[in-house]
Amino acid sequence: MTELNFLAAPGGVLRGQWRVPGDKSISHRAIMFGALADGITTITGFLDGEDCLATINAFRAMGVVIDGPDQGRVRVHGVGLHGLQAPAGPLDLGNSGTSMRLMSGILAGQAFDSVLTGDTSLTGRPMRRITEPLSLMGARIATGQRGTAPLQIHGGQRLIGIDYPLPVASAQIKSGVLLAGLYAEGATRVTEPAPTRDHTERMLEGFGYPLRRESERTVVISGGGRLTAIPIDVPADISSAAFFLVGASIAPGSDLRLEHVGVNPTRTGVIEILRLMGADIEVQNPRLVGGEPVADLRVRHAPLHGIRIPEALVPLAIDEFPALFIAAACAEGVTVLTGAAELRVKESDRIQVMADGLNTLGIAAGATTDGIVIQGGALSGGTVASHGDHRIAMSFAIAALRASGPIWIHDCANVSTSFPGFADLARHAGLDLREEAT
């Protein structure tokens, strides 16, 4: 079987003005909400990555007509909250945990049975964290023996609203429960232990569905409403921008401007953490687009120093930590992360995989139960494994900007799940990166 690898040559400077692909979280939700709405939802800036295409294909399999994507444009012909049809077979969601956890909530309220499955990585990730609250609402969902997919969802169940305190800060679990709440009798109240991304809440309000925010951490929704189609302009994904924010920060001489980036305050932990480390990042031309805060980000090289990362920022940067670990490797002093056990159950065990890769490249990095300790130093060249994790692969590619030798990164095909065209954009911005098939 052919494997796609990256070869990143040492050195380089990042310059220019670029726009990274659309936000993955918002793209997923735009398809889901558009499918469940009355009318036609037109989406621009859609992320044409494998994860989001898996969501499109799942809704097509349930009778929803979706035109595109064509250069980021998609038209979703909504069928209403009760218009989905039984799929002919299991819905294969590939590598997308967002699709599986959010769609579990939607499908728990349908009249038909369904099965959700995915690739080897996705079927190894924990799903009881979403099936358990859905079961409390009256859903019937069977998992594998280890609480993983495939998920067998039995339709025709009567759902009842619940008051659910999230055991972990997770936007996916919060969203899955709220989406089930669309189909539940009475009120569904979700309280999170720390703020997480609020794209679901913003989009519900955008589609005209009433919800109530009782506090910064508690949101309430009641069943029986309807969604009305709207146009959606998806901003550039800050999780994808993170690689270039780190790259320009660590590479001397860099001066980079990233356009139209989503700066939702529940997602800007990466900017705050980098600034605490000494990064030079300017937020320019802030504006609202479709209810989502957007801005241009200018980042210039600056000497970084190690910090103890505030635990309050962890949920606001959970997907960006692989890139942040590269910043820590290039910083003076020690960086300490705690309170991030969630990183161990992503597409890979991101704590251990990043620690192993950094050690290979000459950086002292020690994994802990819920975080990592990184001693900044000089990056060498070497060969690292991404374990099929897109964010690991891109992070080590960016590391080459400060490495003394080339970095080989194995198993990089999954980069296309979140950042199609990453290698091309990185090359144009100033990184000497080649794709090699073996």
Number of neighbouring beta carbons within 10 Å of residue 362: 16
pLDDT (0 to 100) of residue 1:
64
Per-residue pLDDT 10s for the chain (438 aa) are 678 999 999 999 999 999 999 999 999 999 999 999 999 999 999 999 999 999 999 999 999 999 999 999 999 999 999 999 999 999 999 999 999 999 999 999 999 999 999 999 999 999 999 999 999 999 999 999 899 999 999 999 999 999 999 999 999 999 999 999 999 999 999 999 999 999 999 999 999 999 999 998 999 999 999 999 999 999 999 999 999 999 999 999 999 999 999 999 999 999 999 999 999 999 999 998 878 999 999 999 999 999 999 999 999 999 999 999 999 999 999 999 999 999 998 989 999 999 999 999 999 999 999 999 999 999 999 999 999 999 999 999 999 999 999 999 999 999 998 899 999 999 999 999 999 987
Options 233, 296, 319, 389, the catalytic residue: 319
How far apart CA 363 and CA 144 sit, in angstroms, is 39
Catalogue all structural domains in the chain, each as residue range(s) with its CATH number.
4-22+235-437 (3.65.10.10), 24-233 (3.65.10.10)
Residue 389 bears catalytic tag: no
| pTM metric for this prediction | 0.91
**Cα dihedral sign, 343-348-350-352:** positive
> What's the confidence (pLDDT) of residue 438?
79
